[in-house]
Structure 1
Amino acid sequence: MSAEHQRLLEARDRVKHWKRWGPYLSERQWGTVREDYSPEGDAWASFPFEHSHQRAYRWGEDGLLGISDNHQRLCFAVALWNGRDPILKERLYGLNNGQGNHGEDVKEVYFYLDSTPTHSYMKALYKYPQRHYPYDWLRRRAAQLGLHEHEPEVWESGCFDENRYFDVFAEYAKAEENDILIRLTVHNRGPVAAPLHLLPTLWFRNRWSWGRKDRPRASITETGPGQVEASEATMGRWSFTLEGAPPLLFTENESNDHVLYGNSKGSVYTKDAFHRRIVSGELEAVNPLQTGSKMCGWYQLEVPAGGSVSVRLRLRADAPAAEGFSNFDEIFAQRLKEADDFYCELRSCTLSDDARLVQRQAFAGLLWSKQYYHYVVEDWLKGDPATPPPPEERLNGRNSEWRHFFTDDILSMPDKWEYPWFAAWDLAFHMIPFAQVDAEFAKTQLQLLLREWYLHPNGQIPAYEWAFSDVNPPVHAWACYRVFKIDWKENGGPDYEFLERCFHKLLMNFTWWVNRKDSTGDNIFEGGFLGLDNIGVFDRSRPLPTGGYIEQSDGTSWMAMYSLNMLRIALELAKVNAAYEDIASKFLEHFLYISSAMNTLGGAGLWDEQDGFYYDRLRLPNGHCYPLRVRSIVGLIPLFAVETFDAELTANLDGFQRRTKWFIEHRRDLTEHLLWHPADDRNPLGIIALIQPIRLIRALELMLDEAEFLSPYGIRSMSQVHRKNPFVMHVNGDEYRVDYCPAESSSRMFGGNSNWRGPIWFPLNYLLIESLQKFHHFFGDRLQVEFPTGSGNVMDLAEIAAEISKRLSHIFLRDENGRRACYGDTELFQTDEHFRDYLFFHEYFHGDNGAGLGANHQTGWTALVAKLLTQSGE
């Protein structure tokens, strides 16, 4: 057992709190719903970037390559100044939703390079230009470009030309659970020596100014040269030691009310004091008494051309600061070796060098994207006793129906800058690769969203911060069962308690879906956009211009899949508790009714025999309905509703077997249009699926056609048949259309910051791969199709799943020319020795060339590539 595995066991058993400290600091707290107290709910305008260095946050903190404790009381991060920028670099910059030509977008270059699950070792990199940072250029350039142009990137401004930039590496190693070693290393990649102000910053989150509880002000005080003591009522005393005893600056983590509001009664020493002292030269900005709730060390470095400078720091609980750095380098070397050992035990050592690099950084991004998330909706709606009350409109506005919601947790985020808040279906996908490295964390995360302070009393799972009541695809049951199985495999035994706890809450959520999203009771479901933003011709979460509603292929298919997931979990639990046998029959019945409606209602249901594909169907107020022939991944989601069962699973469930037999013999109307072969004594392996084999083959013909869905890099979200033949509707004199759009969105639907009209998305590709594997598990080589369609090359479905996995993996892996598809034609990232082996894990990828698009640190579900690499052994 590796040392890291031992730490995970100690953390699980509460022997040592190895996870108390981690990368829990957000990368953007400004512009979030939590910090928005405006009447109209415009979070970006309510708390813009320009205020972020001057206003104290209410609900969390942000910083650069930073860490905090698990309740974000005490924080550490890096601050920088190159002598030219107009502001101190304390946090990442990006365009807000209204400024970006494709929605919000971080405009920095940084990479997560390594982390163990307990964060015993961590490493990240930030690339800081030596030139003036191009804030104004980025805003102007984005304003000049339209929806059909790519997003402007910071490197296109020339700020990295001639290698005139610093590589700033932040590394962390834990000597013990409350003894954190920090090493900051600055490399000058440029041709001449360059100055840099390096400011390692320690501060307390402001929890005392809001009047909610009796929380005394926390304090940080100088105790000697290069030594401070940080003290807070719930944390006790912590020492912070800075190598070389640099000058120390102190202030308070308070808003600058004078600048913001013209209020002269506010704190004298404010959050922006270090900016004012270092950039503006205001001597009086910092506290001469060397105390406050925020401090930094001021290293004024001259970094030689091609050279580097390192600084060592140490943060410890209840330890004399003077003990210093005697064993510092040895501990760092040991923790890095232990990280290598840990990942080698995960079978990473069987991969190629390049695949190991990709996988290690995918896991690093996943682990660095943990974030402290605090949001109490009741308090947020009403405001705080010590601050002016919010506008009355808020009481009936955003999230007002979620007053029970209370979070004070570490959560896995999609992206800590662009999406610094949980998203329910994103998180479900995150947990699949997470379970490979830390199954305990994966299980805890899935249970959290089902706990009573998250789950609505009516059974709805909150979607995401901007609108908890929006509806994400119901993939939570799938994730719970998959994590259960991965955990069983990795840890040698089943955790039935976890599965049972999840199942009880999932019952409530399933019932909510049945009661709320099947408006006519005919087992054809709606659900709105279901996470697929602009995939349809209409915004599916708003009233339609035609009136009526959309009967959704994806909504109905997700519910068929959900039914099978719940059936599988119930059968698994019935092995240890016979009471679950009856409820397994309930979910079998649900599935049969849903699949029958999907395939037969009103004739062929949502299946279109002419095209051999499933479509959404528009139902008008007069009762007339017709298919919306948009050939999108919505029509492939029915493939997800498939499960295989071996005879052993139901061998002792006589009641379930009798119920199964009854349906087959007496309800042919429900069973004849689906794929169902129960397992029994003669057939040791059974299968049940929404789609019949003949329809499966026809759908695969389109999915595997390179002129339709099949890209060199996976399955597109939209068939490129719409490149030349867009889907067009005219309603009340307005045109509504869907074109194949393989890159950024050309529509402002859902803000325009993501696109489902052509790009490749990892989560749905992963589910397609898994479904193909299940079909093959039953059919074997009895079911083979052409891959690609029309090629004459016939494969079974397992081989096709492997080929799709390979195409997805090769988005990141070097090709025979040493190029990575994810970086497209950006030569800096393809060829420069200081860029080419650092990876962004984008939100989605260009449907034709595999280039990364959207949020460039959405490592959560794109980290599924780590699982695909393990499976494929690339």
Structure 2
Amino acid sequence: MLRSNRQSGISDWDGMRYDFVCPSPTHYPFQWFWDSAFHAIALLHVDPELSKQELRCLMQGAQPDGFIAHMLLWEREAHAHWVEREYSIRLGHPYYTATIQPPVVARAVERIFEATGDTAFVREMLPPMVRFFDWLARVRDPDNDGLVAVIQPDESGLDASPKYDKAMGIPYEPPADTLPTLRRSMKRLFDAYRDAAPEAQPLLDVFLFEDVMMNSIYADGLRALAKLSRAVGAPDADRFERESKRTQGALMSKCWDEEAGVFWDLSGKAEEPAKVLTFTSLFPLILPDLDARVAKRVVHEHLLNEREFWLPYPVPSVAANEVSFDPAWQTKTTWRGPTWVNVNWYLYWGLRAHGFDDIASELARRTVAMQARGGIREFYDPFTAEGYGATDFGWSCLSLDLIAAETAG
């Protein structure tokens, strides 16, 4: 399936050869930032050279200032306006977006290095990765607290998550109103940003979220950069380690709610906690250095809570006891209830990092069983395993990595 989703050719806007796995030929025919990182991890179990090629192609989109776009369209200029209309994603150029996605790429390069020992590949990938992480710190952390901000919902990759509803003016009911309201709200964001330089956009406070998942992946990526830099004798390893710890410290001091036992996103310059319980409230579990007491509370009070996240096919994108929980995709928008394989993949490795091996194994087992019932789909009903969204969806092949990890023991 990963091979059948490959697209290759010569870009007609810069003459570069592209060769990548698209998330879905019918629904998502472009190259997407975090999708490609997940594809690279899955491809390790198919062909490590294709895994490397996936990231090489992605890094061809790196700009001189360090920015790497959420989407690379390569040769599809004719579809540019369709992208804004269909996906509500701003274009900064006819061939790429003006937006970002979570920096999973450092974790992907780390996994490739662990599997292949290819130091030349690490040296090739480090410069564009370092520039991108430095761009995030320079442009997306205007208050310099160690937490980077997203300035529209798609930048976290979590599109219509209900944790953004208040900021976007989206109602919970009726479900049919969610999508049209989201599209109107996205147009408002586009209009506000239209004449603002990238460096000025976070200062507008139109939509500004210090997102827990985004910052957990950012901190984890800085950790991976430190490890990779040390492995090949590159500079700045100590700096990346300090920056990772600083972001982790900010997650604890600003986002952790001791009473609730979860992490909350921070909304706006005022950093108002967005108290909607989604899987991202558990996401710092992916950080190996997370305090053991905090990890235990997150797992036992919330992940394993059958009223919240431990459903027949966990982990739902929204807690089952939230009013906005939409497990059967009635709203026709994403990240409002169904289960996603990439979330389970990250949480699986987080559980293992904190010694919850039995829970990790059960999560892997239920994930594979879910796909056996629902197919290789974009997301799944957490009660029935019915698949929704795109078919033959690329990052759902991360289950290959779960199977390999469980087989290896």
Q: TM-score range by the shorter chain?
A: 0.7 to 0.9
Alpha-carbon offset, residue 375 of structure 1: 4.1
In structure 1, the residue matched to 2:266 is 617
C-alpha offsets along residues 291-333 of structure 1, whole Å, 9 cap, x if unaligned? xxxxxxxxxxxxxxxxxxxxxxxxxxxxxxxxxxxxxxxxxxx
Contact between 2:286 and 2:353, CA under 8 Å: does it hold in 1? no
Matched, 1:415 2:61: no
Distance 1:618 1:416 in 2: 35
Matched, 1:634 2:280: yes
Contact between 2:39 and 2:54, CA under 8 Å: does it hold in 1? no
- Larger strand percent: 1
Find the residue that maps to 2:229 and give its secondary structure.
helix
In structure 2, the residue matched to 1:810 is 369
In structure 2, the residue matched to 1:715 is 315
Letter in 1 for 2:384: N
Alpha-carbon offset, residue 801 of structure 1: 0.6
The number of residues matched between the two structures is 349
Alpha-carbon offset, residue 718 of structure 1: 0.8
Matched, 1:482 2:141: no
Contact between 2:36 and 2:58, CA under 8 Å: does it hold in 1? no
Distance 1:812 1:596 in 2: 37
Contact between 1:744 and 1:854, CA under 8 Å: does it hold in 2? no
In structure 1, the residue matched to 2:69 is 462
Matched, 1:699 2:298: yes
C-alpha offsets along residues 265-315 of structure 1, whole Å, 9 cap, x if unaligned? xxxxxxxxxxxxxxxxxxxxxxxxxxxxxxxxxxxxxxxxxxxxxxxxxxx
- Of 339, 344, 348 in structure 2, the residue corresponding to residue 760 of structure 1 is 339
Distance 1:547 1:428 in 2: 29
Letter in 1 for 2:123: E
Alpha-carbon offset, residue 803 of structure 1: 0.5
C-alpha offsets along residues 484-534 of structure 1, whole Å, 9 cap, x if unaligned? 222x2xxxxx21000111112211111111111112112122124211111
Distance 1:696 1:513 in 2: 27
- Of 404, 419, 441 in structure 1, the residue corresponding to residue 50 of structure 2 is 441
Letter in 2 for 1:372: S
Contact between 2:319 and 2:325, CA under 8 Å: does it hold in 1? yes
Alpha-carbon offset, residue 412 of structure 1: 0.7
Q: Name the Cα RMSD after superposition.
A: 2.3
- Of 222, 234, 239 in structure 2, the residue corresponding to residue 586 of structure 1 is 239
- Using the size of structure 1 for normalisation, the TM-score is 0.38
Alpha-carbon offset, residue 868 of structure 1: 2.3
**1:719–1:455: structure 2 CA closer, same or farther, 3 Å change rule?**
same
Distance 1:406 1:771 in 2: 41
Letter in 2 for 1:594: T
Choose 1 or 2 for highest CA Rg: 1
In structure 1, the residue matched to 2:249 is 596
Find the residue that maps to 2:272 and give its secondary structure.
strand
Distance 2:29 2:207 in 1: 35
Contact between 1:743 and 1:755, CA under 8 Å: does it hold in 2? no
Find the residue that maps to 1:636 and give its secondary structure.
helix
Distance 1:863 1:556 in 2: 24
Alpha-carbon offset, residue 373 of structure 1: 5.0
Alpha-carbon offset, residue 448 of structure 1: 2.0
Letter in 2 for 1:532: L
Find the residue that maps to 2:59 and give its secondary structure.
coil
Distance 1:480 1:699 in 2: 28
Alpha-carbon offset, residue 408 of structure 1: 3.3
**1:406–1:799: structure 2 CA closer, same or farther, 3 Å change rule?**
farther
Q: How does 1:705-854 map to 2 (within 5 A)?
A: 705-722=305-322, 726=323, 739-744=324-329, 746=331, 752=332, 754-776=333-355, 797-813=356-372, 820=373, 822=374, 840-854=375-389
Q: How does 1:378-417 map to 2 (within 5 A)?
A: 406-417=15-26
Matched, 1:556 2:191: no
Unaligned stretches of 5+ residues in structure 2: 74-82, 84-90, 92-96, 169-184, 193-201
- Of 253, 257, 262 in structure 2, the residue corresponding to residue 608 of structure 1 is 257
Alpha-carbon offset, residue 406 of structure 1: 5.0
C-alpha offsets along residues 238-290 of structure 1, whole Å, 9 cap, x if unaligned? xxxxxxxxxxxxxxxxxxxxxxxxxxxxxxxxxxxxxxxxxxxxxxxxxxxxx
Distance 2:211 2:407 in 1: 37
Find the residue that maps to 2:20 and give its secondary structure.
strand
- Of 532, 543, 548 in structure 1, the residue corresponding to residue 158 of structure 2 is 532
Alpha-carbon offset, residue 721 of structure 1: 1.3
C-alpha offsets along residues 728-766 of structure 1, whole Å, 9 cap, x if unaligned? xxxxxxxxxxx00112251xxxxx5x4101111011210
Find the residue that maps to 1:459 and give its secondary structure.
coil
Letter in 1 for 2:2: L
Find the residue that maps to 2:17 and give its secondary structure.
strand
Letter in 2 for 1:811: M
Q: How does 1:321-332 map to 2 (within 5 A)?
A: none
Alpha-carbon offset, residue 560 of structure 1: 1.1
- Of 379, 385, 390 in structure 2, the residue corresponding to residue 855 of structure 1 is 390
Distance 1:525 1:503 in 2: 20
Alpha-carbon offset, residue 556 of structure 1: 2.2
Contact between 2:19 and 2:53, CA under 8 Å: does it hold in 1? no
Distance 1:512 1:406 in 2: 26
Find the residue that maps to 2:3 and give its secondary structure.
helix
Distance 1:406 1:871 in 2: 40
Find the residue that maps to 2:383 and give its secondary structure.
coil
**1:500–1:710: structure 2 CA closer, same or farther, 3 Å change rule?**
same
Distance 2:136 2:9 in 1: 27
Alpha-carbon offset, residue 407 of structure 1: 4.3
Alpha-carbon offset, residue 873 of structure 1: 4.2
Taking every aligned residue pair, what percent have the same amino acid on both sides? Answer: 24
Distance 1:475 1:756 in 2: 18
Find the residue that maps to 1:843 and give its secondary structure.
strand
Distance 1:558 1:457 in 2: 23
Alpha-carbon offset, residue 597 of structure 1: 1.9
Q: How does 1:119-198 map to 2 (within 5 A)?
A: none
Matched, 1:424 2:69: no
Alpha-carbon offset, residue 546 of structure 1: 8.7
Letter in 2 for 1:616: D
Distance 1:424 1:703 in 2: 28
Find the residue that maps to 1:714 and give its secondary structure.
coil
- Of 547, 571, 592 in structure 1, the residue corresponding to residue 230 of structure 2 is 571
Letter in 2 for 1:693: A
Find the residue that maps to 1:694 and give its secondary structure.
helix
C-alpha offsets along residues 711-733 of structure 1, whole Å, 9 cap, x if unaligned? 222211110111xxx2xxxxxxx
**1:608–1:416: structure 2 CA closer, same or farther, 3 Å change rule?**
same
Alpha-carbon offset, residue 443 of structure 1: 0.8
- Using the size of structure 2 for normalisation, the TM-score is 0.80
**1:597–1:812: structure 2 CA closer, same or farther, 3 Å change rule?**
closer
Distance 1:447 1:591 in 2: 25
Distance 2:367 2:214 in 1: 26
Contact between 1:842 and 1:857, CA under 8 Å: does it hold in 2? yes
**1:800–1:406: structure 2 CA closer, same or farther, 3 Å change rule?**
farther
Contact between 2:39 and 2:395, CA under 8 Å: does it hold in 1? yes
Contact between 2:41 and 2:112, CA under 8 Å: does it hold in 1? yes
Distance 1:448 1:811 in 2: 31
- Larger helix percent: 2
Alpha-carbon offset, residue 854 of structure 1: 0.4
**1:533–1:406: structure 2 CA closer, same or farther, 3 Å change rule?**
farther
In structure 1, the residue matched to 2:135 is 512
